Structure 1
Amino acid sequence: MFLYQQHNHLYRRKILIASFLLPVILMACYFMYRQMTPFGKSSLLTVDLGQQYVDFFAYLRNTLLHHPSSFFYSFSKGLGGEMYGTNAYYLLSPLNLILLFFPAQHLATGITIVTLVRYGLAGLSFAWLLQKTELQQGWRILAFSTVYSMNGWMIANQLNMIWQDALILLPLIIWGLLLLIYQQRVGTYISWLAVMMIDNYYMGWMIAIFTLLFYLWQMPAITTWRQRGIIFLRYIAGSLLAAGIAAVVLLPTFYALMQSKGTYTETKIHNHFEYFVPKMLGKLVPGSFSFGQMPSGQPNIYIGMLLMIGACLYFFDHRFALKRRIIGVVISLFFILSFCYEPLDLLWHAGQFPVWYPYRFSFLFSFWCIYLAAKVIQPNFQIKRRSAILLTILIVAIYWYVGTLNLSYINNNQRNIGLCFALIAICCLCIPRKNSPRLYDVLLILLAVCDIAMSGYTALNKISYVSQPEFGNYTIALDKAVHKLKENDDGLYRVAKTFMRTKDDPFQADFNAGDHFGSTLEPPIPAFMGAIGQPDGDGFVTYANGTEVSDALLGYKYTMNARNTPTGQELPLSGYRPDWYNYPLTGHTNAINLRENPNSLPIAFGANAAILNLQRTTMDPLNYQSQVFQTLAGRPTFHSLFAVQNFSSVKFNNVQKAKQITGTIFRKQNLLQPASVQLKFIPPTNDSYYLTLGPNVKEDATITMNNKHFTQYDTFRNTVVINVAHDQKGQTITINLSLKKATLWMQNVSIYQLKQRPFEASLKTLQQSPLKISSYRSNKIVGTVKLQAGQRVLMTTIPAATGWHVKVDGRPVTPRTVLNTFMAIPMSPGKHHVEFYYRPPYLILGLIITLISLVITGWWVRKEHQQKSIFSN
């Protein structure tokens, strides 16, 4: 008996190992075919994975290895921002620790390895669930586990690594729920649900909803209403305890979300369908995915034709209780409605429409269907001839109808292949297994695996990726430049640059800037950056359009610009700053020049108290910069630091003539001919000159300057400021705007001169009272300041946040918010010792709730164990 159990245990373990290795091998073969690093010069980096997540992984690596205080707050996040909520959304997966073994330039290789591990663990997890529930036995488990690990959602969201742990943890949570329902054991359910909520609360919310549906589906198996009531209370209590255990993450994160992403929650819910519902049938075709499906599309639910047929047959299978089948139908319809009906869609997404990647909860429907198929397709299952004929007619009709929809992401070859897999699946289910069990199981596995693999390969072939050299070479160049800066100056300052790979470059190379792209960016930051002429949007900012004034105000002590190399300027440009060329060169690398800005202010400095009451009264970004700077210096705001200049000449080509440029709508006179407006400007001094452009101009015109492509970050929604000249007295600047459409609105197109003397006078006043920092970490700054007469405020360019606490001369002080953005501390003239420290709001309360929940859970589990021991005795 012992030998039999040992052999059976080894046999089950081999199946689990195979369930891990099979999807890993299949995906590794595809990565080799596409030459993904480490198998070639391509990479998995694409869309958000290449533009956002890889930089967050670099931040995590730097945080864990070099400065742990950045886990709570980082000045690399825009102008500075909390990181606890950001980490909870993006980075708390324990699998990310694997990336610690890969240096920054090789992170793409680490991402490939982690992705393969996730595919394998998803297959292993589902195979383990099938073994524990005894829904399937033997090697045929591989058919279900491999399909689960490579289902349509997993393939479509391969680039969204932050969500993939949900597929690994879901089977474990469901197993815990089954134990809770049928054995009154709550420990497994509470533990894994808590892990999911800590790993990624967003996916955890969706899984929590699904556990309720799954619980309702199981209820008819419980005979008495009293038992059902007790189990329901256990389920609710267990779910609350799981949330309580995760409270140390959830409470601070929830608060952070209310200050950032939560502000975009929908307040109006429309009672309508989001698209033509039959389009969803297109997702029953293998490889039904493309880049166009990322921003808006239908749910990715492909699980292969064999298992989809098996799932559908569940509702007609008399082996299962009618009540449970009816509830199963209701749950399935609920999912289908959620895929197209706005109120239900918003429920799954916690009240917010996804920005790209719609129907993120569709992995739950895939699990549901595969689970039903595993119940139906048992070793003794065989469909009757009549059912097979009806299925064939239905499937042929569906595939024919899908062809009439003219869906861009499906071609005839995909439909033909999918139809072939469906017909083969029907034939397979008609064959009795008893004649040759092993051969039948091999056929079952081959059919399911080939179907899902072909679908995955087809879908992924439609996506383009960043090459490893493109990522690695840029990362090496940026890291070298930042390292050189830090060798000479390890203080707290910001760095501006005129090139960019992503808006999260500061995370990648571990320096402070004004760029960020992330879901937890606080809205006041893009609002302020947009107000001073920087590109901004919901969830992103980039400091690409600075002026000498904004550089000084925001503490940009150093600048980086790309060098011309023998092979051309290789770094991707994002801005143009000739006003930097007079700054002293402090060093250089092969690709980057480093300069020091002598005008930069520290992160905190003495200022006039009038800043406490300054309100924005202009939409002109340069006038707003002047108002802020002059107010801080205690000077009249009506004396602007910027003066409007006239263009020297204007040339109209195929458009009407106009005496005034700004605000004019130019129209093509001959719609078939090119049209343009050419602006010429000759600087009368060597001061800095800036051009303003409204967002509509970039939509309607192609812009060149002196016959060269205009290097300007092209995504912005407010008027931006562009430095067009410095130290170029008497040199002609030619700006050409070629119409891309029939009309061109010259929205806010003006030239401004920076009045150097007033600027330097105000700057000198503000430089008198710098905060002299004696020590700092990412979440703590200590220093001294001596305010001059007339300065009753310590102005900071630290974004105001509830988590910041300030002590002046050892006494707590409540900071004020100025410009709707920054923190300022009222204080009297004279010398003061100042201490800033940041603690995520509700962190202590969350920790207390976590500890209490752990104690209650431990007591409950122990009590259950004691009761079980009593009954067994």
Structure 2
Amino acid sequence: MRDCHKNRGGTPPAPQEDTMQNTILIHAPGRRQGRGALVLAYTALFALLMGIWAAIFALNGQSFIQYGDTLKQHYPFLVYYGRWLRQAARCVLTGAAVPTWDFSIGYGADIITTLSYYGLGDPLDLLAAFVPGRWTEQLLEGLIVLRLYLAGLAFMAFSRRHGNSRFGTLLGALAYVFSAWPIQAGLIEPVFLVPMYCFPLMLLGADDLFEGRSPVLYIAAIALTALSNFLFFYMAAMLLVLYAIAVYSKRYGAKNLRTLPPLLAKFIGFALVGIAISAVTLLPTAQELFGSARFGLTRETAPYPFYRFFELLANMTTGMGYDAYSTYAGVTSAAFLGVLVLFAKPRQNTVLKCAWLGLLALLLVPQAGSVLNGISYVSNRWVWAFTMLEAFILARVCPGITAFEPKEKRNLFALLAVYCVVAFCVKQGRTETALLGALLLVLLAVFVLAADGVSRRGVQAVLLAGCCLGVVMNLGGYYGIEEADAVNEYRPAGYAWSTTVQDNPAVTLHLMEDQSYWRYDSLVNEPINSPMLLDVYGTGYFFSLNNSYLSSLFRELEQNTPVEYDYRGLQNRTPLETLFGVKYALCAPDSTGALPALFDSQAVQAAEIGGSTVAVYPNTAALPIGYTAQNQISRETYDALTPLQKQDALLDGVVLEETGLLPEAELTGNTVSPAAEMELDGVQQLDETTYYAPQDGGRITLTIAQPMADCETAFVVQGMQYTATSPLDAMSEEELSAMSAHDRRSLQKQYAHFWRKDSVYLRLLSNIGEGRIEYNRPNSQYYCGRHDFVYNFGTSDEPLQQITIVLPFAGYYQFDRLAVECQKLDTVAARAENLGAENLQNVTLGTNSLGGEITTTRSSVLVVQLPYSTGWSVTVDGTPAQVLRADTAFLGVALEPGSHTVAFTYKTPGLTAGAALSAAGVVLLAAIWAVPALRKKSKKRRK
């Protein structure tokens, strides 16, 4: 076997190790023979277990398409991406511009920054270019299987590089690929499988650098990970740093710090080359990320509940253990047995023991979950690294798993006993699946302790059977209809295409003869993000990155959307339907009463879609995509208005960040907040803004002294905050003593973790309807900094006379303002007509562009209802002009009186620089790969 410590390329020599078993960090490759047999055996067993997984779904009539994020985000992305790739290829072949902006994604969005999180740069997703949209469901399922298979191959390469046996590597690969992370998260979010095969490659590349080998694998692995998903690249990079520190400490120690600078320079320099290769998507996405609603918020990080440690241990042998922090740390009973064997044998594999304890500690510290999740909300989405470590431990200890000294046997027995006692001492851990996993663990432990006379192949057969049985138990326990029944969250084959495209109610819009640019709202059940698949322009959006300016506008208007990257429609707020250019609404013919005011109840189109009739109703006051304002509203004036006054004011002028471009607008709207008398029931008002509900279900009732008719009515909450308390805290000793011991314990159990509540809602009851306002606290992963909300009751035949706010949970509620606002709508149509009198004509929507012609009689600002971005530029009559930010979120340009040709053009911010960096990175990688080979060939010629 070749010397793995040979000094290459100037790397300082490492000191010799005492024993190979003491570290996972020294490169000790096994023999090359048998590699094909190992891959073949893995492939066969993977196919068997994957077939069982698929059979569970098939027997229940389900596909791998989950109703939540898979259907709403990942499936639409892949269908759209395939179409976009084909279009991009045609553009390249014909010399046309490649589209980077799409008007059908939300209110219009950048393609690259919006979709990069979902795999826009992932090489595997390029297969979508060759698959028609109708068959993308099968492609998505196939990619899930392929990524899992590649994860096993990558793990085996890493394991064999570090000297693990072929059989141990095989067991570890199966435990890794079928661990709790892919079982629970891999199907819901297919992109979550990316680090499972990228991270082992990054570690192999790091090993190459330590050994003075070629950095090509290191660079390529970093580029692949960063291209595939920026968030998991961040996690992998953080964990790579920890790995490198451990490797360096073991190889060189503190006495050889002189070796650190050259190694550090290599790691950083070659990492920068890999990052440069990915810059074509990474740089634009980073710029968008730093301005998103989820970035930079101040969040609360609450400690985990006490039982969490025990629950985590109990589920180490299962595919279960769901929590709100994605801590899916379970493997199989065989793999966890490997961990117990590791600790049962002292003075061996010390680094592995420290690594396992260190990562376990990180799983128990919420701050670690926040840091590793991009310094954001707490989530242990890095747990795939923990399961990889456990799988590696199994591979490491497997050859000697039955070889015990008497003391080691006692250690293993004691560890097993302690595990069973500790793991199941709390109710949260005593699930049927966890108990079965523990039973299998005990049986395997008994076998290895008593297997002295069993042949090597006999031991291997039992361990392999135990590993596979554990996988099947985990799959059945999570997906089985008699168990957790997670398979019920998935949908039948063909459902995704049928729901999002074929039987989508929005298909009715394709029958419209109106060829102008317009948006539509939907009052029927329409899948979110489906407009991008039908090339229509809707008012819904659900992707992780969103336009920050649009978020700001929604925040100013206090839209009832606590999650700013997940919104559906404009909540029937009439002025907003007008200002956003919503010209039509989809509605069932028997539900026209739910249409916003100023929508005609006479349908202009109808069709039978999916067994139901869907009709299209016009908005009589919709503004065109480009309209002009002759007056402006100062930012100071606008910010001082209430939310309904703001939407009313936008019909009188345009809000600009610049001052003095237009005369100050005269606000002519009629929005009032009628006086109301407050009555409390089960609620105490502590000061002007704070209310205390000692028990669940407290009520605040507002009675309007002079109700207003013929208006659009909304309930406004501003400055909302919530601190949970336990109802037990408000009960006197006498009340508690009067309860039976059983009832008292039941209440204590019910409210044991009240302080962890991360969201609350307000239930609204009124004489004209009911409503609900959701509020996410700063400790919620969905927190977006929203504390102000408007619930629109719309218009009704009778005025709002009384509204009751039900406080569902005990606690302290803070409201800076609770009010009813009423907006008269009698002048909305006339003011909209005035704004739209001089509008953009002959509008053309081109690739990354919008243009048209307009004639103005006064100095004005053309407002275009597309989200503002620094990537937009504009020319007026061929001369570059300044792009204004109009109404916080839209495009604008100043025009003088006369006839003009206006052209807006979009270029993704950072894309040009990113593409240049990527090209430079590829050239550097090619040079790094080619130069040593050329030098070697040159030396041979001289000889």
User: Structure 1-normalised TM-score?
Assistant: 0.82
Match of 1:157, SS state, is: helix
Listed one character per residue, the Cα deviations across residues 386-408 of structure 1 (whole Å, up to 9, x for unaligned) are: 3223222222222222222322x
The unaligned stretches of length 5 or more in structure 1 are 38-42, 657-662
**Residue of structure 1 equivalent to 2:536:** 511
Q: Kindly provide the amino acid, as one letter, of the partner of residue 167 in structure 1.
A: M
Structure 2 CA distance for aligned equivalents of residues 6 and 501 of structure 1: 55
Listed one character per residue, the Cα deviations across residues 412-464 of structure 1 (whole Å, up to 9, x for unaligned) are: 53343232222223234335588533332221111112123322432345334
Structure 1 CA distance for aligned equivalents of residues 307 and 795 of structure 2: 55
The unaligned stretches of length 5 or more in structure 2 are 1-30, 92-96, 655-661, 683-687, 722-759, 777-785
**Residue of structure 1 equivalent to 2:651:** 629
Structure 2 CA distance for aligned equivalents of residues 487 and 774 of structure 1: 18
**Cα distance, 1:495 vs structure 2:** 1.0
Task: Write out aligned runs for 1:623-702 (5 A).
Answer: 623-632=645-654, 637-642=666-671, 689-692=712-715, 694=717, 699-701=761-763
8 Å contact kept, 1:345–1:359? yes
Match of 2:106, SS state, is: coil
8 Å contact kept, 1:795–1:823? yes
Q: Kindly provide the amino acid, as one letter, of the partner of residue 604 in structure 1.
A: G
Structure 2 CA distance for aligned equivalents of residues 434 and 229 of structure 1: 52
**Cα distance, 1:860 vs structure 2:** 1.5
Task: Write out aligned runs for 1:1-80 (5 A).
Answer: 8=34, 10-18=36-44, 20-37=46-63, 44-64=65-85, 72-80=100-108
User: Structure 2-normalised TM-score?
Assistant: 0.77
8 Å contact kept, 2:156–2:173? yes
Listed one character per residue, the Cα deviations across residues 442-499 of structure 1 (whole Å, up to 9, x for unaligned) are: 2111111212332243234533415448766643576353353365244432111123
**Cα distance, 1:833 vs structure 2:** 1.4
Point out the more displaced range, 189-198 or 219-228.
219-228
Change (3 A) 1:102 1:864: closer
1:539 and 2:565 correspond: yes
Change (3 A) 1:103 1:286: farther
Point out the more displaced range, 128-137 or 623-632.
128-137
Task: Write out aligned runs for 1:377-776 (5 A).
Answer: 377-378=398-399, 382-407=403-428, 410-430=429-449, 435-460=454-479, 461-462=483-484, 463=486, 464-468=488-492, 474-476=499-501, 479=504, 481-482=506-507, 484-485=509-510, 488-501=513-526, 503-507=528-532, 509-532=534-557, 534-537=559-562, 538-564=564-590, 576-577=595-596, 579-582=598-601, 585-589=604-608, 590-611=612-633, 613=635, 615-618=637-640, 620-632=642-654, 637-642=666-671, 689-692=712-715, 694=717, 699-701=761-763, 703=765, 718-722=788-792, 724-725=794-795, 739=806, 748=818, 750=820, 752-756=822-826, 758-776=827-845
8 Å contact kept, 1:194–1:245? yes
**Cα distance, 1:653 vs structure 2:** 12
1:181 and 2:210 correspond: yes
**Residue of structure 2 equivalent to 1:340:** 364
Task: Write out aligned runs for 1:807-818 (5 A).
Answer: 807-818=875-886
Task: Write out aligned runs for 1:20-419 (5 A).
Answer: 20-37=46-63, 44-64=65-85, 72-92=100-120, 93-97=122-126, 110-131=139-160, 135-137=164-166, 141-158=169-186, 159-182=188-211, 184-219=213-248, 220-221=250-251, 230-260=262-292, 263-264=295-296, 266=298, 274-276=304-306, 279=309, 282-285=312-315, 293=323, 295-296=324-325, 299-311=327-339, 313-314=341-342, 325-354=349-378, 358-378=379-399, 382-407=403-428, 410-419=429-438
**Cα distance, 1:780 vs structure 2:** 1.1
Q: Kindly provide the amino acid, as one letter, of the partner of residue 798 in structure 1.
A: L
Point out the more displaced range, 461-470 or 171-180.
461-470
Match of 2:896, SS state, is: coil
**Cα distance, 1:361 vs structure 2:** 0.7
8 Å contact kept, 2:307–2:426? no
Structure 2 CA distance for aligned equivalents of residues 705 and 105 of structure 1: 47
Structure 2 CA distance for aligned equivalents of residues 156 and 759 of structure 1: 50
8 Å contact kept, 2:156–2:169? yes
**Residue of structure 2 equivalent to 1:660:** none
Task: Write out aligned runs for 1:791-830 (5 A).
Answer: 791-830=859-898
Structure 2 CA distance for aligned equivalents of residues 713 and 498 of structure 1: 20
Structure 2 CA distance for aligned equivalents of residues 141 and 673 of structure 1: 59
8 Å contact kept, 2:100–2:110? yes
Structure 2 CA distance for aligned equivalents of residues 21 and 279 of structure 1: 34
**Cα distance, 1:255 vs structure 2:** 0.7
Change (3 A) 1:712 1:281: closer
Structure 1 CA distance for aligned equivalents of residues 495 and 706 of structure 2: 38
Structure 2 CA distance for aligned equivalents of residues 539 and 817 of structure 1: 21
Listed one character per residue, the Cα deviations across residues 170-215 of structure 1 (whole Å, up to 9, x for unaligned) are: 2333333333333511112211221111001211122122223333
8 Å contact kept, 1:20–1:124? no
**Cα distance, 1:602 vs structure 2:** 2.0
Listed one character per residue, the Cα deviations across residues 32-82 of structure 1 (whole Å, up to 9, x for unaligned) are: 244313xxxxx6414433443334334434534568889632334433332
8 Å contact kept, 2:877–2:901? yes
Match of 2:435, SS state, is: helix
8 Å contact kept, 2:332–2:467? yes
Percent sequence identity is: 15
Structure 1 CA distance for aligned equivalents of residues 330 and 692 of structure 2: 50
8 Å contact kept, 1:52–1:502? no
Point out the more displaced range, 272-281 or 153-162.
272-281
Structure 2 CA distance for aligned equivalents of residues 582 and 665 of structure 1: 44
**Equivalenced residues, count:** 826
Structure 2 CA distance for aligned equivalents of residues 19 and 151 of structure 1: 15
